[in-house]
Chains A and B, each alone.
Chain A
Amino acid sequence: MKIEERASTHVYRQRQMLSKEDLEARESLCVHEQPAYCNAACPLKLDVKAMTAAIAAGDFDRALALYEKITPFPQLLSAGCEAPCEQSCKLCSLGEGISIRALESAALTWGKKSRGMSFLRKKPAAVGIFGGDLMTLFLAGELVKKRYPVHFYCAENDPRALVEHCVPGFSPEIVQSTAKILAAMDIQFHWNTDPAAAFRQAEQPLRAASYAVAASVFPGLEPDEALMVSRPQKLITGRTQGILGAAYGAKKAALSIDRMAQKLDPGSTRGEEGAVETKLYTSLDGVRPSSRIPVADRDSAIAEARRCIQCRCDECIKGCAYLQHYQKFPRILTREIYNNVSIIMGDHMMNKPINACALCGQCSVLCPNGYDMGEICRIARENMVFTGKMPLAPHEFALMDMLFSNEEAFLCRPQPGFDQCRYVFFPGCQATAIAPATVRSAYLDLCARLPGGVALMLGCCGAICHWAGRYELTGQTRRFLQACLADLGNPAIIAGCPTCKKELAEFTGLEVHGFWQLLEQIGLPDKACPVPRPVALHDACGARGDSGTQKSIRRIAAALGCQVADTPYSGDEAPCCGYGGLTQYTNREVARKMTEKCLERSDLPYLSYCMACRDRFAREGRESFHLLELVYGTAADHCPDISVKRYNRLGLKQQLLKELWNEEVISVDLGFTIDYTPEAEALMDDRMILKSDVIQVFQHLRETGEAICDSETGLYITRAREGNVTFWVKYRETDTGYLVVSAYSHRMKVVNRQ
């Protein structure tokens, strides 16, 4: 099998990663941008959530600015608003909701009005308003804001009398302040006029002069309340209920006037109006019920506002270090990925995020609507591979490692003494790389205790290429494994790793058991090593949705005497350790944050059942063990480097071949030795340079003699190109070979130029 680097950055194929409908259907699952419950309930579209946040932060000026945005008469509205938002407050389901009206009036009391200036030009079409009532009063204010010239005809003789007539029953202060605002407005008042008579007189000439006409409801007008329009008479009017109804009616009326002034049908393309249904989800986990704090002064207003939990959905982000790192919600991330994948030429800014997701599916469980960001990233990767936009560099090491597992280190044999076996043990590439001794014990135990024979298959299940989006390689790998399984007579598979279990079940069509399930059948071996200690159990992302596995692991842990402590985000909600989706290779920073996120759940030692998790936790300095280590009393290697991981796989194969099948593997003698300084070893692990790469460089050196000497450091330097990479080695000569002091690599080819 071969992995090809893409040929060019200029030549692409084209294919949509998702159909528009599929994209929209997926995006619509995310309710993050849905309005908060309070906001949704307000027909005037007050941003209650933002206003509350402003007050909580002591910023009453901003709170006032938000409130004034929705109405020309804030005092009046605040004094009489029926406040449907208050019943809709999320906190009502727990204790008492926020006193939103009290906070509005706090904003009015302690907020300073900003001297906002309107830069709108005055509109050419004027509006005549005939008769004062609550709705027309608000309407006059709305129209002044929109810069219509307004003529107001009424029977009263001054603003105060007009307001008193429009809003009977309010306190003198409210009437006074509203009248003051009204008087200051750019309105031409026609006092002491009988509005009905003026209406009849003025109707024709006004209409002819392209005036819009708004009248309080006279007999004979037939209003369409949804638009506040009386269609036969082509004028604005309507009945409203209460203060809020009037304020909302005035808004609808003002919008109809806009439409009519543009000679458009007032009923069409009005946009979203009024209160809406919100689909928001907000978790109340960890929120304690609380009671209203009476608002008497600034401090009590701030305290009441601080009870607001700023409703929003961030269930996925709370659990996922990757989403936290990019600070984006799945819906937005999806759209950006979609757009970026579609770009033909230019920078693909989203490659990093696409390749940094662990494809672990945690989001799909945490999200109330099952948003699966991982699936989007996986589809995007496959699409990029197809179109030729996927760089090989981020995944090449992992893919080569998989090829190593399935070629050089691959082993497939029936149990000695059996032609056909009932089972085949598939420990997985990570277990053999990190804990070869444990794998050996496990296999020998299965052979001894399971009737019917247990074949062995050492290799990779193909998760690596599946994660990398290399669909062709995935197909090849799966066909190869299927052929090997067929050779064994298609036995039932015993997977040592939950991800292998999942992958193998997906394509083999065979019976696939977890190793743990078999252990429960046959019981723990004698050498099991009880750990009577509290441990934090980390569920593998490969076992998400596999409650059988999760439960089985817990029973075995209990049988081993472990006191398993419950951590947040366990079971199906478990985060990925940073290995999944190849994050460890593509983005170390994000992978590390993922590991830290796993470890922040508990201070206890971590018990896991995926070897990759076990290894990553140990690397972060946490005491960490894999269930099989305890079951067989054999420890895994402590943080093996990339070369040891390969050596372990090959070594295990050779050991078992010799021990069980009497096949001696003749190791080729290089004819020279290579030693490494400790610094060089650490550096190579960090730079993903294998010892086998270095061997090739020296073999090339011995064939060609090509090297240089740096007189300043006294070091020799040589290089060789292997596949897509040039490896450089700095070394000294020793009696028998070489001492490697440093190594580095680059992917660009370097050539001479004339």
Chain B
Amino acid sequence: MADKNYYTIDPEGKLTCLKCRCKLQKDKAKFLYLDNGFPVELPVCPRCGFVYVPEELALGKVLAVEKALEDK
């Protein structure tokens, strides 16, 4: 997989993990769908690894990529 990141989202310090009580940070994550993978950088809890997918991203880019893959 090429080391290209499909999207990068910085939490800018406003998101906190409720379980670990620490701030989410920009970190490496990956979307997987139908045997395809897309490296991304998303807000992630440094302790438990909770990856946050914001609403705009889910309904925008993620949906568009899903649809494109579904018709492959």
A→B interface (CB under 8 Å): 5-11, 345-349, 351-352, 391, 393-394, 704-712, 716-717, 719, 726, 728, 730, 742, 744-754
Q: Is B10 close to A, CB under 8 A?
A: no
Q: Using known A-B contacts A707-B18, A708-B45, A753-B28, determine if residue A745 contacts B58 with beta carbons closer than 8 Å.
A: yes
Chain B: interface size category: 35 or more
Determine whether the beta carbon of B24 is less than 8 Å from that of A708.
Answer: yes
Determine whether the beta carbon of B32 is less than 8 Å from that of A751.
Answer: yes
Contact of B51 among A9, A11, A751 (CB under 8 A): A751
**In the complex, residue of chain B having the shortest beta-carbon distance to the beta carbon of A350:** B71
B→A interface (CB under 8 Å): 14-19, 24, 27-36, 38-40, 42-45, 48-53, 55, 58-59, 62-63, 65-72
Determine whether the beta carbon of B19 is less than 8 Å from that of A706.
Answer: yes
Contacts of B27 in A (CB 8 A): 752
**B12 to A: closest C-beta gap in Å:** 9
Determine whether the beta carbon of A708 is less than 8 Å from that of B50.
Answer: yes
A-B contact pairs, 26 of them (CB 8 A): A6-B34, A7-B35, A9-B35, A9-B69, A10-B35, A347-B68, A348-B71, A351-B71, A352-B71, A391-B70, A707-B18, A707-B19, A708-B50, A709-B15, A709-B18, A716-B18, A719-B53, A742-B55, A746-B53, A746-B58, A747-B33, A748-B66, A749-B31, A750-B30, A750-B31, A752-B28
Bound form: Cα–Cα A349–B68 in Å: 10
Bound form: Cα–Cα A742–B54 in Å: 12
Bound form: Cα–Cα A753–B30 in Å: 6
Contacts of B35 in A (CB 8 A): 7-11
Contacts of B63 in A (CB 8 A): 746
Q: Using known A-B contacts A348-B71, A710-B14, A748-B32, determine if residue A753 contacts B39 with beta carbons closer than 8 Å.
A: yes
Determine whether the beta carbon of A712 is less than 8 Å from that of B14.
Answer: yes
Determine whether the beta carbon of B28 is less than 8 Å from that of A754.
Answer: yes
Determine whether the beta carbon of A347 is less than 8 Å from that of B71.
Answer: yes
Bound form: Cα–Cα A543–B46 in Å: 60
Contacts of A753 in B (CB 8 A): 28-30, 39
Bound form: Cα–Cα A351–B42 in Å: 32
Bound form: Cα–Cα A352–B70 in Å: 10
Q: Which of B31, B42, B59 has the most CB of A within 10 A?
A: B31
Contacts of B33 in A (CB 8 A): 747-749
Contacts of A8 in B (CB 8 A): 34-35
Determine whether the beta carbon of A752 is less than 8 Å from that of B66.
Answer: no
Question: How many pairs of A and B residues are in contact by the CB < 8 Å rule?
Answer: 112
Contacts of B31 in A (CB 8 A): 748-750
Bound form: Cα–Cα A499–B29 in Å: 47
**In the complex, residue of chain B having the shortest beta-carbon distance to the beta carbon of A346:** B72
Contacts of A711 in B (CB 8 A): 14-16
Bound form: Cα–Cα A349–B67 in Å: 11
Determine whether the beta carbon of B53 is less than 8 Å from that of A391.
Answer: no
**In the complex, residue of chain B having the shortest beta-carbon distance to the beta carbon of A343:** B72
Determine whether the beta carbon of B15 is less than 8 Å from that of A9.
Answer: no
Bound form: Cα–Cα A728–B52 in Å: 9
Determine whether the beta carbon of A750 is less than 8 Å from that of B71.
Answer: no
Contacts of B32 in A (CB 8 A): 748-751
Contact of B36 among A9, A705, A706 (CB under 8 A): A9
Contact of A750 among B42, B48, B59 (CB under 8 A): B42
Contacts of A712 in B (CB 8 A): 14
**In the complex, residue of chain A having the shortest beta-carbon distance to the beta carbon of B66:** A747
Determine whether the beta carbon of A5 is less than 8 Å from that of B30.
Answer: no
Bound form: Cα–Cα A345–B35 in Å: 14
Contacts of B70 in A (CB 8 A): 351, 391, 393-394
Contact of B16 among A5, A352, A709, A726 (CB under 8 A): A709
Contact of B50 among A10, A706, A742 (CB under 8 A): A706
Contacts of A746 in B (CB 8 A): 53, 58, 62-63, 66
Across the A-B interface, give the 10 residue pairs with the lowest CB-CB distance, nearest first. A391-B70, A8-B35, A9-B72, A753-B28, A748-B33, A748-B31, A753-B30, A746-B58, A749-B32, A707-B18
Contact of A752 among B34, B51, B62 (CB under 8 A): B51
Known: A708-B17, A751-B51. 8 other contacts (CB 8 A): A9-B34, A10-B35, A709-B18, A750-B30, A750-B32, A752-B27, A752-B49, A752-B51
Bound form: Cα–Cα A726–B31 in Å: 12
Bound form: Cα–Cα A750–B33 in Å: 9
**In the complex, residue of chain B having the shortest beta-carbon distance to the beta carbon of A730:** B55
